[in-house]
Amino acid sequence: MRYADLCETKTVSALWFRHESPLDLSILRPLTYDELRDTRPDYDVDARMETELAYRKLVSQKADTSFLYATIAGFNKMEDPESYPGFTYYFQLTNEQIERCLFGIVDKEQALEPQLGSKALHLAIGLWTSKEDQMVAYEEPGLGLVDPRVEVIIPFEVQPTRYVPQQEDR
């Protein structure tokens, strides 16, 4: 979907959201911080908790639970799902769900701090559309290569409707 079409219709029903995981999942949900420590021992969970304090002020989320992270298909510079070794899940969100999510831009130069709701979604897509050609992947200590993207921060579980299986199952 083109940004101009989205602005004209004010609808998000045509957007597909994308989440990547090494795990085979039937439901996508935010993990508790203890689950993150168990499943990703090399990940800095304390740094994530500190970052997410600001997100908690914008949405209701349990103090012991992280968020589900996704991007919007077509609004990222991430590798093609066929290149990703794990699972790539796709889902859609209702207008009511959009109002409960945070939207921002992950990029070294054109970053946009996460904000709440459909206005933030339109702002992020608008900025992405106008600055996409200036965005490049960058190296971040402790995280590795960071791909520019519209980032979607979700405080609830979602049901994927499509997926690309892990590499060994293709």
Residue 107 belongs to domain spanning: 3-169
pLDDT in tens, 64-106: 999 999 999 999 999 888 889 999 999 999 999 999 999 999 9
Q: What is the pTM assigned to this prediction?
A: 0.90
Max mean pLDDT among 5-19, 29-43, 91-105 falls in 91-105
- Predicted confidence (pLDDT) at residue 170 exceeds the cutoff of 90: no
Give the pLDDT band of residue 60 (cuts 50, 70, 90).
Answer: confident
- Predicted confidence (pLDDT) at residue 124 exceeds the cutoff of 90: yes
pLDDT for 8 equals 46
Domain count, the chain: 1
- Predicted confidence (pLDDT) at residue 50 exceeds the cutoff of 50: yes
pLDDT for 110 equals 86
Nearest-angstrom CA–CA distance, 104 and 153: 8
Give the pLDDT band of residue 153 (cuts 50, 70, 90).
Answer: very high
Which contiguous run of DSSP H or E holds residue 21? strand 17-21
